[in-house]
Amino acid sequence: MLALLVLILLAGCNNIPVNKREAVRQELIAQAENSLEQFTEEFPEIEADLANAEGYVIAWSDTASLVVARGVIGEALLVDLRKGDRTFLNITKLSLGPGFGASDLEQLVVIHDRQFLEELKRGRWVSEADSWSSVGENRAVAYFDGKEVNRYTITKSGATLSAGAGLVRVNVNTQLTDTGLSDWAIPVNKTDPDAEQADAPPKVWRYRLPFLGQKVLDYGVELPRPYGVSFAFADVSQDIVIEDLFVGFNGSEKESFEFVSFDKSGTETRSPQLKVDAWILPFVNVFGLLGKAKGDVAVDVLLDGNLMLERIGSDCDRLIPPLECFLLRDQNFTLPVRTDFNVTTYGVGTILAGGLGKWFGTVPMTITWSSSANTVYDGRTINITPRVGRLFNIGKLGSMAAFVGATWMDSDVSVTGTFPVPGIDLGIDYTVRQTNADRWNYLVGFNWTLSNRVSWNLEYNGFSGSRKAVITGLTYRL
C-alpha cells in the first residue's frame, strides 16, 4: 500500500518543458473534444445533462488496485459552461479497500453545483466513497464531499473491481492553464457536414527521456512511459559444480584442498526483488536491482583422510595415536556442505529492444551481486536472455506479448561454513567456490499489459539442463 502511494505521488510529478506546453495544451483540447463526442454517442442523455449543468470535467486516468488499496493517476480538463473558460487539472487518488486490477479510463463528470465547480477550478482535496467496477461502459451517480455529480465512464483497456473510501487530490496544472484562454466548449456533432473539421494536432512527447522520443513518436511508433518500478519474484533450482575448496582446521588459515565432489549437488533460491528502470533511448533501457535471496545449498565433498591428518599435523606413528588417526587414516571423509542463506542482492543491467510490426526482440543483460554480513554466501551472477515474441491485441483487456527465448547464466558463488567432525575435537572451516552446472536453457513466457501503466509478466525457464525457474513480476510505469 505504501509503495502504491509513493508511485502515485511520483507519477503525478510531470514537468512539461516550456517549449512543448502549447502543443500539449492543443493536444489535450483536441483529445477532450474527441472524448466528448464518444461519450455523447455512447450515452445520448449527456446532451440534456449538459444543457442544465454548470460545467464538466473530462479526465483520462490510470487506475491500479492491489489487494487492499486502489490508486488513480490522471489529468483532466475542466470546462466552465457559464463562463466559457478551461482549467487543466492533475488528479491523484488513493483509496483503501479490497480490489484487484488495472485499467485505462476516460471519464466525464457533469457538475450542477456552482460552488463545487469553482472550488475545483482552484484545486482541492475531495473525499470519495464508492464501489468501483471499470469493466466496459457505465454511468453512475457519484458523491464528492457530499456533492452529487453524474459520472460517465468508458474503459479503454483493462479491468478493475474494488470498493473502499479515499481521498482525491485535484490540483491545477499551472504549466498548462492559461487564464487568458477562454473558449466555449460544448458538445459538437461531428457527423454534421457543416461542423468544423480540424486536423488533430500532432502528439507531443512530454518527457525528457528517452532521447529521440519525439522523433520516434513522429514516425507513428508508440512508446512506453519512460520510467518503471517493478516488483518481481523468482524461484530457481539448479545443479552446481564445485570449482575450488579451501579448508582450515580449528581456526587455522584455510588452504586449497584436493577433493572429489559427488553428483547431484544443488541449490534452491527464492528471491523477491525491486527493479527501477528508465528508457534512455527508444531501443535501450537501463535498470538497477535490489532484493533479498533466501535458499539452501546442498553439496557433498569427499576428502582424503590421510591428507587431512597431514594438514592437522597429527602423528599417527606414536605408541598411542590420537583419536583422529583411527577415524581418518586410510579413509575418505564426506564433508556435507549444508547452508541456509539469506542475503542481500543488488545489480545493474540493460535491455536492447527492437520490433517490426507485431514482432519484437529483446536482449536483457544483467550482472547481480549477493552479499551477507557474515560472508556465508557471496558471489556474482551474469545473465543474458535473448527473446523473440509477438504482440496480440486482446481488446478491452489490453495487450499480450508472448515470447520464447533462451537464458545464458554464469554464476560464481562462495559458500563459507564450519563443520564439527563427530567423535573428535576437530572443526573443519571451509570455503567452497561453486558455479552453475548448465549455462544455457530455454524459456517461454508472456507480458500482459493491463493498462497504460500496469503490466504483469510470467516466465518459465527450464526446458533443458538442470536449471528450473519460475519468474513473475508486476511493473508500474511512471
pLDDT band at 461 (very low <50, low <70, confident <90, very high): very high
Answer yes or no: is 288 within a domain: yes
Split into its structural domains, the chain has a count of 2
* pLDDT, tens only, 404-413: 999 999 999 9
Question: Is 95 in the same domain as 172?
Answer: yes
For residues 127 and 408, give the distance between their C-alpha atoms in angstroms, rounded to a whole number: 51
Q: What is the per-residue pLDDT across 164-206, written as a single tens digit (0 to 9) for each?
A: 677 888 889 888 886 444 344 444 444 444 444 445 677 889 8
DSSP string, 102-124: EEEEEEEEEE--HHHHHHHHH-E
In the prediction, which pLDDT does 184 show?
A: 40
pLDDT in tens, 367-399: 999 988 766 888 999 999 999 999 999 888 889
**344-369 pLDDT tens trace:** 999 999 999 999 889 999 999 999 99
Do residue 379 and residue 239 come from a single domain?
yes
- Let me know whether 379 and 473 are in one domain: yes
Average pLDDT over every residue of 261-274: 84
Note whether residue 65 is domain-resident. Answer: yes
Q: Is residue 306 part of a domain?
A: no
pLDDT band at 6 (very low <50, low <70, confident <90, very high): low
Question: Which pLDDT score, from 0 to 100, does residue 183 have?
Answer: 41
First-to-last alpha carbon distance for the chain, in angstroms, is 17
Q: Mean pLDDT check: name the lowest of 1-10, 294-303, 428-437, 464-473.
A: 1-10
Q: Are 362 and 353 in contact (CB under 8 A)?
A: yes
Q: Which residue has the higher pLDDT, 137 or 170?
A: 170
The cell numbers describing 207, all together, are: 518527457
Mean per-residue pLDDT over the chain, rounded? 84
pLDDT of 414 above 70: yes
352 near 323, Cβ under 8 Å? no
Burial class (CB in 10 A: 0-12, 13-18, 19+), 387: buried
Asked, for residue 152, whether it belongs to a domain, the answer is yes
**Is 322 within a domain?**
no
89 part of a folded domain: yes
Residue 324 backbone zone (phi > 0: left; psi -120 to 50: alpha; other: beta): alpha
Residues 177, 87, single domain; the answer is yes
Q: Are 185 and 255 in a shared domain?
A: no
Do residues 14 and 156 share a domain? yes
Amino acid letter, 396: K
Domain end call among 154, 175, 206: 206
Confidence of residue 88 (pLDDT cuts 50, 70, 90): very high
262 shares a domain with 138: no
For residues 266 and 402, state if they share a domain.
Answer: yes
Longest dimension (CA), the chain: 118
Q: 378: domain CATH number?
A: 2.40.128
Nearest to 6 by CA among 262, 229, 235, 200: 229
Residue 318 resides in a domain: no
- Grid coordinates standing for 372? 551477507
275 lies in the same domain as 189: no
Q: Which of 156, 177, 206 is the last residue of a domain?
A: 206
Q: Is there a contact between 416 and 430 (Cβ–Cβ < 8 Å)?
A: yes
Residue 197 shares a structural domain with residue 259: no
Q: What is the pTM of this model?
A: 0.83
Domain final residue, candidates 206, 240, 260: 206
- 52-56, 276-280, 336-340: which has the minimum mean pLDDT? 336-340
Domain assignment of residue 150, yes or no: yes
> 40 lies in which domain range?
2-206
224: which 3 cell numbers? 512506453
CB of 137 closer than 8 Å to CB of 151: no
- Which residues face 404 on adjacent strands? 388, 444
Asked if residue 290 and residue 431 are part of one domain, the reply reads yes
Q: For residue 154, which amino acid is it?
A: I
- Co-location of 7 and 127 in the same domain: yes
